[in-house]
Amino acid sequence: MDNDNVTTDSGSPTDLDTPIKDRPVKDGVKVPAMVEGVSQVSAATRTNVETKPEWANLKRADFSNYGKSIDFTAPGQDIYSTVPTAIFSSGYAKTSGTSMATPHITGIAALIKSIHPGYQGKQITDLMRKQAAMEYTRLEAPEDGKEFRGYGFINALTTMRRDQPQPTVTTLQYRVGKGEWKDVQGATLPAGPVTFYTEAIAPISHLHMDVAGLSSVDRDGSGKYFDEALGTSIENVDLSALLPEAADSVTARVQVSATGINFDRQADDDTGREAVFTVSRDPNAAVTPAPAPDTDAPAPADPAKAGITAPARSNDQLPANYAVNLPKAPITPPSSVRRPRPRSTVAWYWPSTRPSARSSCSRHRPPSRPTWARRS
């Protein structure tokens, strides 16, 4: 079905035993797919069944709906899934349909919500669009003009590695004795005992600070999203050890690394900060340092509107341009937010059931008998 030019429909209403054949629906509203904030999903299949799924190119499955109003595409052909045991005693079979593609996108939305618990509907949708563009080139342009690609295809592994929430190192300071805390960046410090302090805001699993290779400290964080800031210090580091003989001053640095809560080595949730300072033999050379850049905690962003409020599509967001018309900067949640009640962003339904308020799935094929030796 062409979602952009619907004239008749033979698959609904779904609350009847027998749908009405060729029911006129021109200028009607397809519920829930055309409801504002709902993401429409098309079904894709591999262009070459011999290629491994993780790097295969995809094309539109011949049974899938299409149109420029499609938001995302996902695998929907020969998907191993649960089925009623009345059909297969094992409870599993390979099935095809947008009913198989839409749960993929639903799962992506759920993963993003679990990674960014402070995100609300629009923020989740925007991040999904950004990540879908990363593998847009895997989708082959339709030769029949039946556009299905939308913003692209989202790889769940990408969701678990990219755009992760990062800890933020907000403070890197020093003091001499019991004096005032001052920023390290650009400071001139005496060649004697100096105390250093750093602090980072959650989510964080580990905080490490190293002062010019002389001394270091480690502290584990809770790994919770909304925990208090984590701080640690190194007391009375003797900076005179950094000065070469006959030298009056030397430049050194203190480095801080903050580890996020995703332990995948390829995740982008680790961050850090460093500050350069000067050590001088002349105590009178120690001056009040200039403020270090980027030491203030980030200002809270404007609160997102509650619920699912995906922006209306504009003419410049047609499929040929979806991969470039995306947010220009990473999406960041407010620095301090309350944990919201869970919200469903996308859902799906079987055509034989009454549609839910957040579903976006349509046509479905009955499950095929599983072939255990068959390639998937």
Query: Where residue 285 falls among pLDDT bands split at 50, 70, 90?
Result: low
Residue 298: which region, alpha, beta or left (left: phi > 0; alpha: psi -120 to 50)? Answer: beta
β-bridge mates for residue 42, sequence order: 73
Res. 291: pLDDT tops 90: no
β pairing state of 206-211 and 249-259: antiparallel
Residue/partner pairs of 243-247 with CB below 8 Å, 24 or more apart: 243/191, 243/279, 243/281
**Which residues make Cβ contacts (< 8 Å) with residue 286, sequence separation at least 6?**
176, 187, 188, 189, 190, 280
Res. 318: pLDDT tops 90: no
Highest mean pLDDT among 51-55, 198-202, 318-322, 340-344: 198-202
The encoded tokens of residue 305 equal: 């509107």
Query: Where residue 21 falls among pLDDT bands split at 50, 70, 90?
Result: confident
Percent of the chain scoring above 70 in pLDDT = 74
Which pLDDT score is estimated for 243? 92
Residue 61, classed as helix, strand or coil, is: coil
Where b means 16+ CB within 10 Å and e means fewer, 195-223 reads: bbbbbbbbbbbbbbbbbbeebeeeeebeb
| Whether 252 contacts 290, CB under 8 Å | no
